[in-house]
Amino acid sequence: MTKRFLTALLATAALTLSLAACKSPDGNPTSTRQDDDVAVAPLPPLPAAVDTTGGKKAPAPAANSINRELTAPNAVEDIKKMQPQM
């Protein structure tokens, strides 16, 4: 008897709390009215991107870079070109 009573008490408490949480602030559970005093203003424009190249232009790509095959020797060659010379 006690287990059933405790289970029913817990279920009733959970139901009461869930119904109270679903209720809208004005007391009407089916109300969709929202009275929020929110200032609506457009966002400021984004600043221009910072030039990190120091005014330098990118090197021209190789003439056959579009048709160049992606293989290990070609990749090693490209990596060696990117490495600083010592």
Q: Which pair of tokens denotes residue 58?
A: 């990118």
**Low-confidence spans in the chain with pLDDT less than 70:** 19-37, 58-67, 85-86
Is residue 13 exposed (0-12), middle (13-18) or buried (19+ Cβ within 10 Å)?
A: exposed
pLDDT confidence of residue 61: 61
Closest CA to 24 of 11, 15, 33, 37: 33
